[in-house]
Structure 1
Amino acid sequence: MSGTSRGPLRKSFVSNGPSFVCVPGLVHRYPDRVLFLVTDFCSTYCRYCTRSRMVNNGKGLPFDRGQWEKAIAYIENSPAVRDVILSGGDPLTLSDEILEWLLSRLRKIRHVEFLRIGTKAPVVLPQRITPALTRMLKRYHPLWISIHFTHPDELTPETTLACDRLADAGIPLGSQTVLLSGINDDLDTMKRLMHGLLKIRVKPYYLYQCDPILGSSHFRTPVGKGLEIIRGLRGYTTGYAVPSYVIDAPGGGGKIPLLPEYIVGRDGDDLLLKNYEGNTYRYPDPGDWIGADRPYNATSRCTGEGGRA
């Protein structure tokens, strides 16, 4: 399906299938967390953004305290919600005062244990990460920030300083990266990005398959390309540098993780596993159902002992 078409897949993706919008601006897709859309304004606009049809188009919600109060009331009355993700748009385009009002209201809800912010500001507007902002943010721990990174060229001195300020404030940082054709869809580029992120104290978190967004077909890669990159990272570098590769499933299916196939099959009570080098090993796993029968008569290369790193 072309990202420029209006075929059934694009329609199913845009419609998001069943509605998880409990009140306008609040998405309750997963049992214990909600996505709180607090603005439709961004510090930059990405052609491949999964919400590109919604941001700054003049047709969205009135993002004001009246609307936020409705979302907060839903969270207050939903004791299963432990985790609130502030997104949009980009929450860091809000002023410190407004952002603190939101965080303080959410922190007063006893069953809300974690707060998260999704942003690209440290990359495209690093001057936004001021000492005053970080002093304010650290008052609302546990607070996590997910930063949208695309390419190692974004790891500038200014971005490094912004991430240093956040990390020094005790805020755990994670990255979210979209796999883009011609931009970061080769192993060398992705490895440089992941290593560079670790050096500025950002943990690679998600690698997203590019969504079938209208106008995005030139950015999209085969899923096999993403699996190839994960295969080239896993085992060849530290596990801290390996993000979870996911598809945000059309029709409201949510994030579905994708992995290269490491389970080869079974031989009796042994599970047959393939490591990053392509070698097959036995693992004693009597009576389990994982792995289809596949006799393996060669001598195992594994003695049951191995290094962990």
Structure 2
Amino acid sequence: MNDWRERFPGVAEAEWRDWRWQQRHALRTPEALARLFPLTEAERRGLELTRASFRLGVTPYYASLIDADHPSCPIRRQAIPVAAEAAGAPGDLRDPLGEDAHRPARSVVHKYRDRVLFLAGDTCSVYCRHCTRRRITGGEEGGFDRSAMEEGVAYVRAHPEVRDVLVSGGDPLVLADERLEWLLGLLREVPHVQILRLATRAPVTNPMRVTPELARLLRRFAPLFVVTHFNHAKECTPDAAEACGLLVDAGVPVENQSVLLRGVNSTARNVRTLNEKLLTFRVRPYYLHQGDLAEGTGHLRTPLSCGLGILEELRGRTSGLAIPHLAVDLPGGLGKVTVQPSWLLGRADAGGADAGGHWFRSYEGRRAFYPDPPEADCGCPYDAVFYGDDA
């Protein structure tokens, strides 16, 4: 990693450590990037071809992590468009997760019965080139003002089945503490909302945003979980570790969702190194997402066999805490499913030598038999007492 002072001479330490300064001075033009390091032809074309279709924005902090000498640097690939981003790919969808068909209010996506996605804005500190919600974060819809958020809270209040609200966007942590406190306070006042989650890339792209004051603010709305988005161990800097530590020390659990990106992190070595490092940050690796079918991301998507192969290599070679769920968010708004390698070889049929059991393979390829118990009634008699019904 280059010392940031080499690329940003004249910037005072206090300015560099100010998250607002980082957001205000995000690099938003090809010229600003070219002043830091030479751009490749594919990058110059990508910047030109995507200028009108998707925002460009890279915080100075995140830009300081870019390897200027290697076009395949994982930070570079996530932050700077290449010409392939402007080319279509089979299966591309404007709304890859089918969210718009489930938006009863502008700021609410309600696909699952008991939980909603709450869109708190359309802006980010860094505009990731693999963004799945680029129709929103690209500025196509316009910003989300106070009335849009109040309408969303009113919808949540009117639907008592909603127990879990995921606040996302855009990145909610581009908002000032006061605006964030206002929104979280409204949601926490809804009696049936049990859990709040906040999805943010700030610990990765602008870790200065996580201040002691913010950590204490979020703790007040517990149970609240922060869901962040590290994709590569190169993002696991001391600043990122400090940001995660502030949250965890304040009592705010942090979990990570990675996206599998071809040529960026699409090997077991990369996923294992990242997740083992995150565990030292006290961040739980949760999901490894198969790339969504968002327009402009085809060059970064992997075949499903890639993710399955990674999980196969991880099992038995790192702790279970470092092995994420491989998740596929199905097109058309059908929801998220998880997949894994098949460790189950098959069932031994009744009447055979091994009747009433299943054959498995271990991560080393060895076979093992697990017998079923003779009694297969899995009912729980105490349910009727505990739940107060006739279950």
Q: Which residue of 2 aligns with 1:223?
A: 304
Superposition pairs for residues 36-47 of structure 1, below 5 Å?
Answer: 36-47=118-129
Structure 1 residue 77: deviation in Å? 1.0
Q: Which of 104, 107, 113 in structure 2 is aligned with 1:22? A: 104
- Alignment check: 8 A CA contact 1:43 1:121 kept: yes
> What is the CA–CA distance in structure 1 between the aligned matches of 2:194 and 2:99, rounded to whole Å?
29
- Alignment check: 8 A CA contact 1:46 1:52 kept: no
Q: Which residue of 1 aligns with 2:21?
A: none
Q: Secondary structure at the match of 2:104?
A: strand
Unaligned runs of 5+ in 2: 1-83, 350-355, 377-391
Q: Which of 88, 102, 106 in structure 2 is aligned with 1:5? A: 88
Q: Which residue of 2 aligns with 1:48?
A: 130
**Displacement over 2 Å in runs of 4+:** 2-7, 9-15, 285-289
- Alignment check: 8 A CA contact 2:260 2:291 kept: yes
1:202 aligns with 2:283: yes
Structure 1 residue 10: deviation in Å? 2.3
Structure 1 residue 235: deviation in Å? 2.1
Q: Which of 250, 260, 264 in structure 1 is aligned with 2:331? A: 250
> What is the CA–CA distance in structure 2 between the aligned matches of 1:156 and 1:103, rounded to whole Å?
29
Q: Which residue of 2 aligns with 1:104?
A: 185
> What is the CA–CA distance in structure 1 between the aligned matches of 2:109 and 2:178, rounded to whole Å?
24
1:118-158 superposed Cα distances (whole Å, 9 cap, x missing partner): 00001110111111111211111111000111100100010
User: What is the identity, as a one-letter code, of the residue corresponding to 2:360?
Assistant: L
Structure 1 residue 253: deviation in Å? 1.5
Structure 1 residue 47: deviation in Å? 1.1
**Gap change, CA 1:153 and 1:79, over 3 Å in 2:** same
Higher helix share: 2
Higher strand share: 1
User: What is the identity, as a one-letter code, of the residue corresponding to 2:239?
Assistant: E
> What is the CA–CA distance in structure 1 between the aligned matches of 2:334 and 2:192, rounded to whole Å?
26
**% identity of equivalent residues:** 44
Unaligned runs of 5+ in 1: 290-309
**Aligned residues: CA RMSD:** 2.0
1:160 aligns with 2:219: no
Q: Secondary structure at the match of 1:283?
A: strand
Q: Secondary structure at the match of 1:211?
A: coil
User: What is the identity, as a one-letter code, of the residue corresponding to 2:119?
Assistant: L
**Gap change, CA 1:105 and 1:5, over 3 Å in 2:** same
User: What is the identity, as a one-letter code, of the residue corresponding to 1:50?
Assistant: T
1:19-58 superposed Cα distances (whole Å, 9 cap, x missing partner): 211211200111111000010000101111111222042x
**Gap change, CA 1:12 and 1:54, over 3 Å in 2:** closer
Q: Which residue of 2 aligns with 1:277?
A: 364
More moved, 199-208 vs 216-225: 216-225
**Gap change, CA 1:144 and 1:247, over 3 Å in 2:** same
Q: Which of 140, 149, 167 in structure 2 is aligned with 1:68? A: 149
> What is the CA–CA distance in structure 1 between the aligned matches of 2:143 and 2:158, rounded to whole Å?
22
- Alignment check: 8 A CA contact 1:18 1:251 kept: no
Superposition pairs for residues 293-304 of structure 1, below 5 Å?
Answer: none
User: What is the identity, as a one-letter code, of the residue corresponding to 1:195?
Assistant: E
If asked which structure has higher relative contact order (CA below 8 Å, sep 6+), I would say 1
Quick check: which has more Rg, 1 or 2?
2
Q: Secondary structure at the match of 1:22?
A: coil
> What is the CA–CA distance in structure 1 between the aligned matches of 2:135 and 2:308, rounded to whole Å?
28
Give the TM-score of the pair, scaled to structure 1: 0.88
> What is the CA–CA distance in structure 2 between the aligned matches of 1:19 and 1:288, rounded to whole Å?
46
1:239-289 superposed Cα distances (whole Å, 9 cap, x missing partner): 111111011111111111010011111112111112211112111226899
More moved, 210-219 vs 112-121: 210-219
Structure 1 residue 198: deviation in Å? 0.3
